[in-house]
Amino acid sequence: MIQRCDFEFPSPYWDGISDSAKSLIKQLLVVDPSQRLDADAILNHPWVAGEGTSQVELPETIEKLKEFNARRKLKKAGYMVIAANRFKNIIKLK
């Protein structure tokens, strides 16, 4: 389906996404590379430029970002504990 560019924007996942954003995605997911948008065209696309896009925050997106940040902080803390233990073991060896 991906190779044929046979995709859709199923509800309810895409209901809050603007038509402009969907348009950009459609123009990026093109089989023929010569028909895809290049970097300049992407930067000039109305959605990227912020023209006519809604500034309404999507509640589920905010929640997902909070969840992601919490996971990231926990992972970082775990790495710090591992690093501290390794340093402690190195000092013991000397």
pLDDT at residue 94 in the model: 67
- pLDDT tens digits, residue range 2-20? 677 888 999 988 888 888 9
Give the CA distances from residue 58 to residues 13, 16, 49, 67, 69, in Å, rounded to whole numbers and listed in that order: 11, 7, 19, 15, 17
Q: Which residue has the higher pLDDT, 52 or 76?
A: 76
Instruction: 8-16: list long-range contacts, CB under 8 Å, 24+ apart.
Output: 16/56, 16/58, 16/60
- Domain ranges across the chain: 1-55, 57-94
